[in-house]
């Protein structure tokens, strides 16, 4: 499978930077959506949080089909001079950016509620289930083709996390200063017009990042086009038989439940409970600095202790910190930000490792089955991450409705206290369950990963 017959430049910094820019581009639209879309539709467009949550759950049902379909398309694509997966980055960067921009259509805020709901559903499905899937599945699958070396893939995972973190810093730190304002009563509100402008800027930035990824990254491992006839039954057998895939899927779903609930509820707990729009930016800045620090040191720690082991530790740490934050029920925004930042380490230990862990899962399947299905396996993993996104949005929407959140009650004492509780307990539960999934379900500890890498290198004559 190695592309040894052709002269290809060795793996290096260009690949790391290129792969970093790929997720930088992804998260200009993904994090924008997970952070602001519910707030935009509840507070600007007047749609109830429950309906927004239902929309996101419906989209994930659609993703069950579109993600796996795109995985099959990627696996069955004929390799080009640029490789098997890179061409999709160039093909889909424009559509995903345009679809993201259309979600923030503030110019329709005075239309009928039925029109706004239909527009919301249509644009969200176009962006997430079609366009984002069309670029994200090939991008994620590409890590296996860039290098066969486990250490290289760990570095790619780390640099991918850096790219996501840079996007998160822009969206979580800069944008709240732009899209929020104080109304005449002194309440912190979100501006629909500024939100639409932010959506346009993020779309342009996403295209630029994708094109840099396309230019700098090189596929070195020749992964042949799958020629055998597609069989849903055989695919399901392969997926269900992979305990490693089941374990990483569970862990990713639960991690996203914790992470995205933090992101979504941050748009409510800081402006509404603490009365501080600046708290959104400061907490985002501190959390992302923590992730950047971890991205620099986690690959070395993972090489020593193992990716599974380190990620499980992070989950336990995050669960403890957010449960303590719930017990304290602090009214001091700075105390909350400090605890929030420490708890965010739980996300960092897993997120820096997770993209390398999915390549470990793909390697494990090849060891057991004798064939690779990079695109298909990655598509299932991507679907799990989207389910985590939908679960957090759906749960956040349902719980906001349950505590009585509307534009009229947004600053009532009972409502804002309920928002605080949600912001602590849901992440704590997600972290704990993620750690348990890694400990008791996911089988690829350090020893097993090293054995699989050695076996595959010998098989390929490397």
Residues 82-87 have a mean pLDDT of: 85
Q: Give CA–CA dist 70/55, Å, rounded.
A: 22
pLDDT bucket at 126, cuts 50 / 70 / 90: very high
| 296/246 Cα distance (integer angstroms) | 28
Selecting from 1.10.20.60, 2.40.30.10, 1.20.1250.20, 3.10.290.10, what CATH number does the domain 13-223+232-460 have? 1.20.1250.20
- Give the residue extent of every domain in the chain: 13-223+232-460
- What is the number of other CB atoms lying within 10 angstroms of the CB of residue 55? 23
pLDDT at 373 over 90: no
What's the pTM? 0.69
How many Å apart are CA 21 and CA 352, to the nearest integer?
A: 15
Residues 48, 120 contacting (CB under 8 angstroms): no
Question: Using CA atoms, how far apart are residues 49 and 394, in angstroms rounded to an integer?
Answer: 8
DSSP three-state, residue 462: coil
What does the DSSP 8-state code read for residue 222? -
Q: Is the pLDDT of residue 2 over 60?
A: no
Residues facing 221 on adjacent strands: 2
Residues in the chain: 462
Q: 411 or 203: whose pLDDT is higher?
A: 203
Q: How confident is the model at residue 392 (pLDDT cuts 50, 70, 90)?
A: low
Q: Which of 358, 357, 351, 390 is nearest to 375 (CA)?
A: 358
CA angle 117, 120, 121 (to 5 degrees): 90
Mean pLDDT value across residues 374-382: 74
Residue 180 in 3-state DSSP? strand
Highest-pLDDT range among 40-44, 178-182, 368-372: 40-44
pLDDT at 159 over 70: yes
Model confidence band, residue 3 (pLDDT cutoffs 50, 70, 90):
very low
Per-residue b or e along 179-207, where b marks 16 or more CB atoms closer than 10 Å to that residue's CB: bbeeeeeeebbbbbebbbebbebbbebbb
Residue 1: band (very low, low, confident or very high) from pLDDT cuts 50, 70, 90: very low
Task: Indicate if the pLDDT at residue 322 is higher than 90.
Answer: yes
Cβ pair 303, 151 in contact under 8 A: yes
How confident is the model over 20-41, as a mean pLDDT?
Answer: 89
Q: What's the rounded mean pLDDT across residues 209-221?
A: 90
Q: Kindly report the average pLDDT of the chain as a whole number.
A: 84
Find, among 87, 95, 175, 86, the residue nearest to 131 by Cα.
Answer: 95
pLDDT at 434 over 60: yes
Report the Cα 211 to chain-centroid distance in Å: 20
Mean pLDDT of 413-419: 90
Give the pair of three-digit tokens for residue 446: 């350090």
Mean pLDDT for 139-158 is 82
- Given a contact cutoff of 8 angstroms between Cβ atoms, the answer to whether 25 and 365 are in contact is no
| Residue 90 token pair | 């160039």
- Summarize the confidence of residues 43-69 as an average pLDDT: 84
Long-range contact set of residues 9-15: C-beta below 8 Å, sequence gap at least 24: 9/218, 11/146, 11/147, 11/149, 11/152, 11/218, 11/220, 14/216, 14/217, 14/218, 15/146, 15/147, 15/156, 15/216, 15/217, 15/218
Q: What is the pLDDT of residue 122?
A: 94
C-alpha to C-alpha distance for 364 and 355, rounded to whole angstroms: 15
Q: Who wins on pLDDT, 245 or 154? A: 245
Alpha helix (H) residue ranges in 331-412: 333-343, 345-369, 374-402
Confidence band of 457 (pLDDT split at 50, 70, 90): confident
pLDDT tens digits for range 227-249: 555 555 666 666 677 888 889 98
**H or E element at residue 210:** helix 192-216
């Amino acid at each position: 499978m190695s592309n040894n017959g052709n002269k290809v430049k060795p793996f290096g910094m260009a690949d790391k930077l290129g792969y970093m820019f790929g997720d930088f581009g992804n998260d200009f639209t993904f994090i924008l959506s997970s952070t602001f879309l519910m707030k935009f539709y509840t507070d600007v467009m007047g749609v109830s949080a429950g309906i927004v949550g239902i929309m996101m759950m419906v989209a994930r049902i659609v993703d069950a089909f579109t993600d796996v379909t795109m995985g099959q398309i990627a696996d069955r694509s004929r390799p080009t001079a640029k490789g098997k997966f890179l061409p999709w980055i160039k093909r889909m960067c424009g559509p995903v950016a345009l679809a993201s921009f259309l979600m923030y259509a503030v110019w329709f805020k005075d239309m009928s509620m039925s029109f706004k709901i239909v527009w919301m559903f249509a644009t969200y499905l176009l962006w997430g289930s079609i366009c984002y899937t069309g670029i994200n599945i090939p991008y994620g699958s590409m890590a296996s083709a860039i290098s066969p070396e486990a250490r290289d893939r760990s570095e790619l995972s780390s640099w991918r996390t850096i790219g996501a973190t840079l996007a998160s810093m822009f969206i979580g730190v800069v944008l709240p200063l732009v899209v929020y304002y104080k109304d005449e009563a002194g309440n912190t509100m979100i501006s629909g017009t500024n939100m639409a402008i932010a959506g346009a800027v993020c779309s342009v930035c996403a295209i630029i990042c994708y094109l840099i990824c396309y230019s700098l990254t090189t596929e070195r491992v020749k992964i042949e086009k799958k020629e055998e006839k597609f069989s849903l039954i055989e695919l399901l057998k392969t997926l269900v038989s992979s305990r490693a895939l089941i374990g990483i899927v569970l862990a990713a779903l639960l991690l996203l439940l914790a992470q995205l609930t933090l992101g979504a509820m941050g748009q409510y707990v800081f402006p509404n409970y603490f009365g501080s729009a600046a708290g959104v930016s400061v907490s985002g800045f501190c959390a992302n600095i923590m992730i950047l620090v971890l991205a620099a040191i986690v690959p070395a720690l993972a090489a020593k202790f193992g990716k599974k082991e380190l990620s499980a530790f992070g989950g336990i740490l995050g669960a403890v910190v957010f449960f303590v934050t719930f017990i304290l029920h602090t009214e001091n925004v700075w105390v909350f930000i400090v605890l929030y930042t420490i708890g965010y380490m739980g996300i960092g230990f897993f997120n820096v490792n997770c993209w390398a862990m999915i390549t470990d899962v793909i390697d494990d399947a090849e060891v057991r089955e004798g064939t690779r299905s990079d695109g298909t396996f990655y598509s299932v993993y991507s679907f799990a991450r989207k389910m985590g996104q939908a679960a957090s949005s759906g749960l956040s929407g349902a719980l906001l409705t349950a505590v009585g959140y509307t534009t009229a009650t947004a600053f009532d004492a009972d409502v804002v206290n309920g928002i605080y509780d949600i912001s602590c307990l849901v992440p704590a539960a997600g972290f704990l369950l993620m750690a348990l999934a890694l400990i008791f379900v996911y089988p690829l500890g350090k020893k097993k990963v090293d054995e699989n890498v050695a076996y595959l290198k010998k098989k390929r004559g490397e």
